[in-house]
């Protein structure tokens, strides 16, 4: 619970919440969540008011958000509906209305996601399962549990592309590229041009290629190649006020620009970066070398070629390039960090330690 939530909880108690009445209403609310929808909403419009009700909803909501099973998620979605009905009943004063709004936002943002008025009950739970799976992965890195939520979503709607693309990411985290590719194949059968599918399949292809050199910790490979954002952003609706938090908002990272007959150093550098990100190290090295030939003072090309050479296992080449970059731009902590890795790979541990110290200084 955040500091602001604790303050609201204390204020609720001072306004009449807490105590035996709230405990009894919490029990009643818990039983209510098993009732038919019409009964739940009618009860909320009649009884969903005052600090005692808000306190009971608060206790119930916080408890359900701590759980990760599908039945608890079903109850959380029902609680969200009850709180919404209570909020729009117009029976709250300013304080309890604000507290209920705050709780409803937390339940929706961390639990069940935004509403779509056009959804059927099954459509609603399809979206809820997909959204909660994403949030469990984002908040707690609970990839196996998140996968269970995407399984449930797909069982409800076997043509819901976001859940397949999200489950493919869980399979990658769990070390199973074949299962991730299978989920992509399933989407291809009914929506082959789905944008997130296209990027997800390219991500799998790149990780497959790079794993031949770097092993099968796919998250580490993604991090080393600047792809962790693409692995750990998910296909879900954005939260309120969220900008750039979902995978659909990211550009395709696997689209190397085509070079004309006389490319600039910047254009060649861009293509080299994309090729390196895809694990095509030899091609990336050649293009970045062309960028340096075009402009020997284009510092970033040295950095990027040094990184490519480090990833390709060319420690001597990486040290030379990163040194050339540092000579032109001495304040970049990432460059010292990468050169330290290359130096350690080359057995030059004292120099590596000095670079690690420099990276720490420039990062502070």
How does pLDDT run across 194-208, given as a tens digit for each residue?
Answer: 999 999 999 999 999
- Alpha-carbon distance values, 316 to 15, 289, 310, 335 (Å): 69, 16, 9, 15
Which residues constitute the domain of residue 316?
265-363
Task: Find the radius of gyration of the CA atoms of the chain.
Answer: 26
Residue pair 122/155 in contact (Cβ under 8 Å)? The answer is no
Q: 302 and 199 share a domain?
A: no
Domain of residue 286, CATH code? 1.25.40.10
Q: 228 and 303 share a domain?
A: no
Report which listed range, 4-18, 51-65, 319-333, is most confident: 319-333
CA angle (12 as vertex; 6, 14 as ends), nearest 5: 110
Q: What's CA 52's distance to the chain center, in Å?
A: 36
Token output for 139: 């908040």
Tell me whether residue 39 is in a domain.
yes
Coil, strand or helix at 90: coil
Tell me whether residue 52 is in a domain.
yes
Coil, strand or helix at 227: coil
111-144 residues labelled b (16+ CB within 10 A) or e (exposed): bbbebeeeeeeeebbbbbbbbbbbbbbbeeebbe
- The span from the CA of 230 to the CA of 91, in Å, is 45
For residue 236, what is the DSSP state? S
Least confident piece of the model among 85-89, 124-128, 231-235, 354-358? 85-89
pLDDT mean across residues, the chain: 92
Token output for 87: 């909020």
Token output for 271: 């293509």
Tell me whether residue 322 is in a domain.
yes
pLDDT at 338: 97
Q: 155 and 192 share a domain?
A: yes
Packing angle of the helix pair 177-188, 195-214 (nearest 10 deg): 160
pLDDT at 4: 58
CB atoms < 10 A from the CB of 287, how many? 27
Whether the predicted pLDDT of 15 surpasses 60: no
Supply the pTM of this predicted model. 0.88
- The span from the CA of 12 to the CA of 220, in Å, is 45
For residue 249, what is the DSSP state? G
Whether the predicted pLDDT of 3 surpasses 60: no
CA dihedral 305, 310, 313, 318 (to 10 degrees): 70
Nearest to 207 by CA among 193, 194, 224: 224
- The span from the CA of 176 to the CA of 164, in Å, is 14
pLDDT at 138: 94
Coil, strand or helix at 2: coil
Nearest to 138 by CA among 214, 242, 221: 242
Nearest to 196 by CA among 240, 229, 234: 234
Q: 31 and 129 share a domain?
A: no
Tell me whether residue 258 is in a domain.
no
Q: 104 and 142 share a domain?
A: no
Tell me whether residue 259 is in a domain.
no
Structural domains counted in the chain: 3
């Amino acid at each position: 619970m955040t500091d602001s939530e604790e303050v609201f909880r204390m204020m609720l108690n001072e306004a009449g919440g807490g105590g035996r009445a709230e405990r009894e209403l919490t029990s009643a609310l818990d039983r209510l969540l098993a009732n038919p929808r019409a009964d739940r909403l009618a009860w909320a419009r009649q009884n969903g008011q005052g600090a005692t009700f808000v306190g009971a909803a608060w206790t119930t909501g916080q408890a359900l958000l701590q759980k990760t099973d599908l039945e608890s998620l079903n109850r959380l979605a029902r609680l969200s509906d009850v709180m919404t009905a209570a909020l729009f009943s117009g029976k709250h004063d300013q304080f309890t209305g604000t507290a209920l709004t705050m709780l409803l936002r937390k339940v929706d943002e961390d639990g069940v996601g935004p509403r779509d008025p056009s959804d059927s009950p099954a459509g609603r739970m399809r979206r809820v399962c997909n959204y909660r799976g994403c949030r469990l992965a984002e908040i707690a890195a609970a990839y196996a549990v998140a996968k269970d939520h995407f399984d449930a979503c797909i069982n409800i709607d076997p043509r819901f592309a976001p859940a397949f693309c999200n489950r493919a990411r869980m399979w990658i985290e769990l070390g199973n590229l074949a299962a991730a590719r299978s989920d992509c194949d399933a989407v291809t059968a009914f929506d082959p041009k789905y944008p997130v599918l296209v990027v997800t399949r390219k991500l799998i292809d790149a990780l497959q290629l790079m794993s031949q050199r770097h092993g099968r910790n796919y998250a580490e490979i993604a991090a080393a190649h600047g792809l962790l954002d693409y692995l750990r952003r998910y296909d879900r609706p954005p939260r309120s006020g969220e900008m750039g938090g979902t995978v659909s908002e990211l550009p395709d990272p696997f689209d190397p620009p085509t070079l004309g007959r006389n490319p600039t150093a910047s254009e060649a550098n861009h293509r080299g970066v994309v090729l390196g990100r895809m694990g095509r190290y030899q091609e990336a090295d050649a293009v970045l070398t062309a960028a340096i030939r075009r402009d020997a003072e284009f510092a970033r090309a040295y950095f990027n070629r040094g990184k490519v050479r480090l990833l390709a296992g060319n420690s001597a080449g990486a040290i030379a390039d990163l040194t050339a970059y540092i000579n032109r731009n001495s304040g970049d902590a990432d460059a010292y960090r990468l050169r330290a890795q290359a130096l350690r790979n080359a057995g030059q541990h004292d120099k590596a330690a000095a670079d690690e110290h420099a990276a720490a200084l420039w990062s502070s």
